[in-house]
Amino acid sequence: MVVTKKCDMFSEHSKIYLQAGLSSSGRWNRNFQRAVYFKKGEGAYIHDMDDNKLIDMSLSHGASLLGHNNKAVNDAIAQALEMGILCSYETEYQTMLAEEICSIIPSAEVCRFACSGTEAVMHAIRLARAVSGKSIVLKFEGHYHGLCDYVQYSWSPKADLMGSYENPESVELSTGIPAALRDLIKIIPFNNPDILKKTIEDMKDSIAAVILEPINYNQGCIVPEKGFLNLLRELTSKNDILLIFDEVLSAFRTGPDCAQGYYGVTPDISVIGKSLGGGTPITAIAGKRNILEHFQPTGSCTHTGTYNGHLISTMAALATINEVKKLYFYDHIYTLADKFYSGLDEIFSASRLNIKAQGLGARFGFYFDVQKDVVKEYRDRIGENEKMALKFYQLLYEKGIYFHGLHNGFSIKHSLHDIEQVLDCIEKTVKELEFIF
Ligand code: PLP
């Protein structure tokens, strides 16, 4: 049994000064009903304030694909420090990073940088509106695109608010979003070609862009059905609609060419995030030259920011790309993925409980008591057993495995032995759950 006394006490202290003891609401840990406070990370491991050493299966909400305290990233950051940090100045390194991105990501002819996924999505959408002269954004239910008001809709709408399957309501993720913005978003279910075709046919003159997670990792791991992305590409091209792949979470999970390379479908604009910076804040907006030319000064669409392409993150991103380009990188990722996903299938199919896992590349999701054999869109998860999920993550923490619950994955620093250990702990946990549920 792990002790978490220091974390408990620190949480009470933290709340006095830091609102709810959190710098970011997403760090709220539902198992503990507080944040977990950490001391350090090393490779695949993370140490909490009580000195529990945990195998990290969350990895900075997906940002640490290279693991924690990665030497290549640290050395790159040291170089930025030596150069005097040089914040808000162009150096040769932003260009080098853009060149690397353009050489490995199919949609990238040119790129610009931002600091977070939220910002990059905001810029991508403004750009799509500037290019198309249209306003509405078509978005899929259950897909998450950060906290920009334009797209803060229907990521996880409650069942009584979400409306009909064919014509879902646009449900705000937050209070404080002006009601007028609802007219600028259209929500449809993922993986339904007929609804997609009909919506585009009906609204093509007002849709500026379709945005999606090409792999919907924000719902665990929901993959596009065969041909769905191709259809999307065909319909958007035919109707002067820009196709935006939000690869904030999917970038580098399946290969250096991201989900677009994996599925062989090239969007007009890509948003590349999370793991790009090796744990430092940087995102890229990439796309065709004739689209990005609409950004000032060549065009009239704004894109600027003091910290865009910050040297520390730029250097860290260069180191990251250098790593993901190495031959062994995806051999190792897929070796771990094969071992882990087949091991999970074995454990769950031997249990009388209805738990499933879906995974692709370096990220995956668990589904507790869902009725469908395969989760293909957000509504397949409605009615999931939240209590079972929470207990699962809590029992695993007690065994030294850290899942935050929302973002699940592994890094290049996880070994086969780590994965075997996680599987062993999951098997024990499932047996314990069988006594409770
Ligand atoms: N888009 C996707 C697909 C994401 O998963 C996230 C964050 O999880 C975002 C956008 C927002 O990114 P950030 O948290 O860096 O603002």
What spatial distance separates the first Cα and last Cα of the chain, rounded to whole Å? 21
308-328 per-position pLDDT tens digit? 999 999 999 999 999 999 999
pLDDT at position 3: 86
Residue 313 beta carbon below 6 angstroms from any ligand 1 atom: no
Atom of ligand 1 nearest to the CA of 117: 12
pLDDT at position 100: 98
Yes or no: say if 178 and 150 are a contact pair by the CB < 8 Å rule.
Answer: no
Residue 1 pLDDT exceeds 90 = no
Residue 247 beta carbon below 6 angstroms from any ligand 1 atom: no
Q: In what order do the strands lie in the sheet with 207-212?
A: 110-114, 283-287, 269-272, 242-247, 207-212, 136-140, 185-188
285-310 per-position pLDDT tens digit? 999 999 999 999 999 999 999 999 99
Residue whose CA is closest, atom 6 of ligand 1?
146
Q: Residue 77 has which token pair?
A: 């950051």
Residue 213 beta carbon below 6 angstroms from any ligand 1 atom: yes
CA distance 63 to 292: 26
Return the best residue to mutate from 122, 221, 248, 250 for the ligand 1 pocket (most ligand atoms within 8 A of CB).
248
CA distance 358 to 147: 26
CA distance 394 to 237: 47
Return the best residue to mutate from 58, 139, 145 for the ligand 1 pocket (most ligand atoms within 8 A of CB).
145
Amino acid at 395: L
pTM for this entry: 0.98
176-235 per-position pLDDT tens digit? 999 999 999 999 999 999 999 999 999 999 999 999 999 999 999 999 999 999 999 999
The torsion angles phi and psi of 257, rounded to 5 degrees, stand at -90, 5
Atom of ligand 1 nearest to the CA of 119: 16
Please spell the DSSP secondary structure of 292-323, one letter per residue: HTTBTTTSSB----TTTT-HHHHHHHHHHHHH
158 C-alpha to center of ligand 1: Å? 21
All residues at 6 or more sequence positions from 365 whose CB lies less than 8 Å from its CB, including other chains: 217, 219, 220, 221, 222, 357, 358, 359, 375, 408
145 C-alpha to center of ligand 1: Å? 6
CA distance 177 to 333: 40
pLDDT at position 42: 98
Average pLDDT over residues 255-269: 98
Largest CA distance in the chain: 65
272 C-alpha to center of ligand 1: Å? 10
Residue 4 pLDDT exceeds 90 = no
Residue 10 host element (H or E): helix 5-17
Yes or no: say if 380 and 223 are a contact pair by the CB < 8 Å rule.
Answer: no
CA distance 95 to 101: 10
Q: Residue 378 has which token pair?
A: 């957000």
Atom of ligand 1 nearest to the CA of 246: 3
Q: Sign (positive/negative) of CA torsion 94, 98, 101, 107?
A: positive
Average pLDDT over residues 132-159: 97
384-413 per-position pLDDT tens digit? 999 999 999 999 999 999 999 888 999 999
Task: Express as a percent the part of the chain with pLDDT over 90.
Answer: 98
Yes or no: say if 394 and 404 are a contact pair by the CB < 8 Å rule.
Answer: no
pLDDT at position 73: 98
pLDDT at position 436: 96
Residue 404 beta carbon below 6 angstroms from any ligand 1 atom: no
Residue labelled with tokens 């585009």: 200
- DSSP helix, strand, coil percent of the chain (3-state; round to 5): 45, 15, 40
Return the best residue to mutate from 118, 119, 125, 363 for the ligand 1 pocket (most ligand atoms within 8 A of CB).
118
Residue 273 beta carbon below 6 angstroms from any ligand 1 atom: yes
pLDDT at position 405: 87
349 C-alpha to center of ligand 1: Å? 32
21-55 per-position pLDDT tens digit? 999 999 999 989 999 999 999 999 999 999 999 99
Q: In what order do the strands lie in the sheet with 53-56?
A: 38-42, 45-48, 53-56, 401-402
Closest CA relative to residue 405, chosen from 156, 152, 225:
156
Yes or no: say if 393 and 314 are a contact pair by the CB < 8 Å rule.
Answer: no
Atom of ligand 1 nearest to the CA of 62: 8
pLDDT at position 167: 96
pLDDT at position 399: 97
pLDDT at position 406: 83
**Mean pLDDT over each residue of the chain, to the nearest integer:** 97
Reported as a pLDDT band with limits 50, 70 and 90, residue 246 is very high
Task: Provide the 10 A C-beta neighbour count for residue 206.
Answer: 15
Average pLDDT over residues 333-338: 98
Residue 145 beta carbon below 6 angstroms from any ligand 1 atom: yes
How distant, in Å, are the alpha carbons of 56, 116, 411, 412 from that of 67? 9, 19, 5, 6
60 C-alpha to center of ligand 1: Å? 12
CA distance 32 to 48: 13
pLDDT at position 22: 96
pLDDT at position 281: 98
Residue 280 beta carbon below 6 angstroms from any ligand 1 atom: no
Residue 270 beta carbon below 6 angstroms from any ligand 1 atom: no
How distant, in Å, are the alpha carbons of 35, 101, 239 from that of 151? 27, 25, 21
pLDDT at position 350: 98
147 C-alpha to center of ligand 1: Å? 8
Task: Express as a percent the part of the chain with pLDDT over 70.
Answer: 100
273 C-alpha to center of ligand 1: Å? 7
